[in-house]
Structure 1
Amino acid sequence: MVKIAAIQMQSKPNLGEENTTKAISMITEAASKGAKLIVLPELWISGYYLSREEFDVFGEKPLGKTISLFQKIAKELNVVLVVPFVEEEGENIYIASAVIENNGELLTSYRKSFLWGREKNVFTPGERNYNVIPTSVGNIGVLICADIEFPEPSRILALQGTQLIICPSVWSIPAESRWDIQLPARALDNTVYVLGVNTVHEGSCGKSKLVAPNGKVLVESPRDEEHILLYDMDLSLIRKTRFDVPYLDDLDRNLIPKSTPAINY
């Protein structure tokens, strides 16, 4: 059993310090309630509807001030943190997410690979490399927002032994029905847990949720409130679901690139 926490918060545009203070407060509260894996939403520090020039202000290296701060917090609270940030490299900026172990080690940084709408005028897409991340709370994979709308990244992660796919997002109200469809679909397709972590207000639909490997929504946040979603995730349910629903066992292996690692669950 692993207690997870999704931090559903309002990201106030351009108010990085205020957003950071709130994020730390909510993370600390989640940890005090026993959470061992805590996830922030996409672009939580900056807000979403900004210009390229405004996003440039928030750009930093993976070991910049924001991630360095949360490395200290992860160690102090003994929790694994998934912290999205605006990553800069040369003249490019990316929507990225850092995964920090409970000892403060930066395990990896993932760049969003499928940009949506206006994002294409601001950000550079990351390379489409999807890799399982072994952590002290299990094998996780990170996809960001629109990445979860494509079946292939989730399948690649599942075939590498990912137990939980984490999807930090800024998911809009007009696209709410897709949020409700895509997360359960990716979970059931691959018989893995999926955790969608959304912002709220500013045009977002909220409804952060944890979906079981059988596609059932186990817990969901409100549409219009800041909320700390908490749940004791039973990883043994993956093996049980795969016995009942053997999608991956029955998959035509001829369709899988030979370079894909064998599944390990």
Structure 2
Amino acid sequence: MKIAAIQMRSISGHIEKNKLKGLKYVYDAIRKGADIVVLPELWSTGYNLSKQTFLKHQKSTETIVQECRQIAKEFGVVLVVPFIDKKEEDLFIAVAVIEKSGEILQVYHKSFLWNKENLKFKHGANHFEPIQTSIGKVGLLICYDMEFPEPSRILTLRGAELIIIPSFFSFESEKRWDIQLPARAIDNTVFVLGVNAVGEGSCGKSKLINPKGALVHECSRLSEEILLCDIDLNDIHVIRKKIPYLNDLDPSLYPHIM
């Protein structure tokens, strides 16, 4: 399976320009054979906006998701597309998983909000349920969600093979990004894909980590790039025979999952 992560620089508030750039990268990844393509957190809006501005652009981000459904169906590719969701008067940082058929399999709302995000968005419902896609069982987190070990563990115990984390991780948090992504992979013996932005103070370095916690590929800190890698999900079973964390886990720690 070939996976692609789009590391891009968004212009805050310029929805159309961000959309055109992001979709150009998506098409490039598809031409290069990607089976699944992932965009970074808040890619279509930019990150440093007021609540009023996010609210203004919310409908436009939903429209982009609908465009991505057509792309997924036309080219037979799974797309993971962050957007802004709205329920009644509440805004959520969200991600849609779109199947090759164009069907939206799941919309995930960010559960843990960082700092001033709490003033703009509502917390998601801590619903950590992996999605069965045509390319494997995928778990979704968004940025700060990754910094807590429990969501990744719950996704793994429920069958996730690849945990995808669209993000806007800052230079100030770069060391945590470098430590926590491999930690989530090795603790759970799963593949982890962190998809970060560049610009607006974000540190880039989108990366793919294998189930041994080893770095497969990493983008630069400053450049827009497409991370494109082949992975074999069967590697998970091989590695778990050598590193039996999940077999040795006490099921009483997770009574409602194990």
Paired position in structure 2 for 1:174: 172
Q: CA deviation at 1:203?
A: 0.3
Alpha-carbon distance between aligned partners in 2 of 1:25 and 1:86, rounded to the nearest angstrom: 21
Paired position in structure 1 for 2:150: 152
1:91-170 equivalent positions in 2, closer than 5 A: 91-170=89-168
Paired position in structure 2 for 1:235: 233
Paired position in structure 1 for 2:14: 15
Identical-pair percentage? 52
1:1-265 equivalent positions in 2, closer than 5 A: 2-60=1-59, 64-257=62-255, 259-260=256-257, 262=258
Alpha-carbon distance between aligned partners in 1 of 2:75 and 2:217, rounded to the nearest angstrom: 24
- Cα pair 2:15 2:60 within 8 Å, conserved: no
Alpha-carbon distance between aligned partners in 1 of 2:59 and 2:185, rounded to the nearest angstrom: 32
Q: Where do 5+ consecutive residues of structure 1 fail to align?
A: none
Task: List per-residue Cα deviations over 1:116-143 (Å, max 9, x = no partner).
Answer: 0110111000000100100000000100
Alpha-carbon distance between aligned partners in 1 of 2:153 and 2:96, rounded to the nearest angstrom: 21
Task: List per-residue Cα deviations over 1:182-234 (Å, max 9, x = no partner).
Answer: 10000000000000000001100000000000100100001000000000011
Alpha-carbon distance between aligned partners in 1 of 2:134 and 2:171, rounded to the nearest angstrom: 35
Q: Which amino acid aligns with 1:78?
A: G
Task: List per-residue Cα deviations over 1:119-172 (Å, max 9, x = no partner).
Answer: 011100000010010000000010000000000000000001100000000000
Alpha-carbon distance between aligned partners in 2 of 1:223 and 1:123, rounded to the nearest angstrom: 27
Q: CA deviation at 1:115?
A: 0.1
Q: Which amino acid aligns with 2:45?
A: S
Alpha-carbon distance between aligned partners in 2 of 1:125 and 1:168, rounded to the nearest angstrom: 16
Alpha-carbon distance between aligned partners in 2 of 1:91 and 1:253, rounded to the nearest angstrom: 40
Alpha-carbon distance between aligned partners in 1 of 2:180 and 2:196, rounded to the nearest angstrom: 14
Segments of 4+ in structure 1 off by > 4 A?
none
Alpha-carbon distance between aligned partners in 2 of 1:126 and 1:240, rounded to the nearest angstrom: 34
> Secondary structure of 1:162's partner?
coil
Q: CA deviation at 1:60?
A: 3.5
Alpha-carbon distance between aligned partners in 2 of 1:68 and 1:211, rounded to the nearest angstrom: 30
TM-score by length of 2: 0.98
Alpha-carbon distance between aligned partners in 2 of 1:18 and 1:144, rounded to the nearest angstrom: 23
Task: List per-residue Cα deviations over 1:71-95 (Å, max 9, x = no partner).
Answer: 0011112100000001111111000
> Secondary structure of 2:91's partner?
strand
> Secondary structure of 2:172's partner?
coil
Q: Which amino acid aligns with 1:192?
A: V
Q: CA deviation at 1:61?
A: 9.5
Alpha-carbon distance between aligned partners in 1 of 2:182 and 2:250, rounded to the nearest angstrom: 22
Q: Where do 5+ consecutive residues of structure 2 fail to align?
A: none
Q: Which amino acid aligns with 1:56?
A: L
